[in-house]
Amino acid sequence: MGLTPMVAPMIGAALLGVAGWRSNFAFVALVAVVFGLYLAARLPESLREKRAGALTPSLLFDGYGEPLRAPGFRVYMALNAFAFAGLFAFISVGSFILQGVYGFSEKAFALAFGAGCLSFVSGSFLSSRLMRRYGLTRSIAIGVAMLAAGGVAMLAAVLTTTAALALMAPMLIYWAGVGFVLPASTASAMAPFPRRAGAASSLIGLAQTLFAAAVGAALGHALSGSALPLPICNALTGTAALALFALSGKARVAHGAR
């Protein structure tokens, strides 16, 4: 997840220059077919016990209802959505702001984007080490603090200076915080539902994607030659994640947070 965004734009740009924009869709289709065939041939079945009628509509919707009825699951799902929305905000409008407002070249923007991805990967790596030693809750706590600090610092930087570095430095803190929050909140949300893992995972992905898409669309409409929309968004999502974590202790403990 961290390295792909660094490589994908390079592949897309190369294809665009050689074969036009339609070639990107052809490449995606080709990759899907190749990976589909590979997984069909090489990925072993992990289901230990098949359940009769598991794909009937009633059982499917019941599988979604069980996690959604748990307050702790909703908390972790929201934390996941807040963190990812701030990340997706930059993916949506970062190029317009860094290139249009701060005058970054294509190469400079690629380097900035790569630095963000590296920060996300680093955060995920450190989080995995901390989770093993101190548990999931500690990792999420560090992550939401980084989200809030990075988002607020981004907003302060845009309001007080025109230096691009002042915006980028706290943005890297935010991206690292995303690396802390996403894996830990997902694991925490799904832990009590081993028999509903697929349903729980799909709900988290749905909430994450829908909320991020709504945020990205809103930011697209808010762009007006200013860098303010992005840091405002990151400050809001970061502080919302921190506040939710601070106020949800009872629900998280009941969920079996560790």
Residues 98 and 136 grouped into a single domain:
yes
The whole domain housing 23 covers: 4-42
- The answer to whether the beta carbons of residues 193 and 183 sit under 8 Å apart is no
| Per-residue pLDDT tens digits for 214-248 | 999 999 888 888 889 999 999 999 999 999 999 99
Of the candidates 141, 34, 150, the residue with the CA atom closest to the CA atom of residue 89? 150
20 in any annotated domain? yes
Distance CA 37, CA 53 (A): 27
Same domain flag for 93 and 186: yes
The pLDDT of residue 252 is above 80:
yes
Q: What is the mean pLDDT of residues 117-145?
A: 92
Do 152 and 245 belong to one domain?
Answer: yes
**For 8-18, what is each residue's pLDDT tens digit?**
777 887 888 88
Judge whether 181 lies within some domain: yes
* Whether residue 226 sits in one domain with residue 172: yes
Number of structural domains, the chain?
Answer: 2
Q: Give 7-11's long-range contacts (Cβ < 8 A, gap of 24+).
A: 9/110, 9/113, 10/110
CB 177 within 8 A of CB 190: no
One domain, residues 12 and 137: no
Orientation angle between helical segments 197-222 and 57-68, nearest 10 degrees: 70
28 and 95 share a domain? no
Q: Are residues 71 and 185 in the same domain?
A: yes
> For residue 165, what is the domain's CATH number?
1.20.1250.20
Evaluate whether residue 50 is within a structural domain. Answer: no
